[in-house]
């Protein structure tokens, strides 16, 4: 694990696979709506919609990164607190 962190090959997002059945449903629904938009709108309008979705994806990715970092810090602080406990006499 430490070697993966050092080499930059640790990619936790690659292994995240939401188990909530609603996730697959929403993904399928999104895909269907995108196909419908591609049929319904001109190529120019569809590219505009794709641009908005790309921007949202980038901002969501930044939020996910910040959430991961915050969660990691909380976990590290908890470990420090747990390991720093002095036995009562």
Which pLDDT tens digit goes with each residue over 7-63? 888 887 777 888 899 999 999 999 999 999 999 999 999 999 999 999 999 999 999
Mean pLDDT of 62-71: 91
The per-residue pLDDT for 56 is 96
List Cα–Cα distances, 11 to 4, 5, 34, 60, in angstroms: 9, 9, 28, 17
What pTM was estimated for this model as a whole?
0.67
Which of the 8 DSSP states describes residue 42?
A: -
């Amino acid at each position: 694990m430490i070697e993966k962190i050092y080499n930059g090959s640790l990619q936790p997002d690659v292994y995240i696979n939401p188990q909530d059945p609603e996730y697959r449903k929403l993904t399928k629904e999104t895909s269907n709506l995108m196909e419908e938009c591609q049929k319904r709108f001109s190529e120019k309008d569809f590219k505009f919609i794709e641009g908005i979705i790309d921007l949202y994806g980038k901002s969501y990715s930044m939020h996910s990164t910040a959430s991961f970092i915050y969660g990691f810090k909380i976990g590290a602080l908890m470990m420090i607190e747990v390991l720093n406990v002095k036995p009562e006499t």
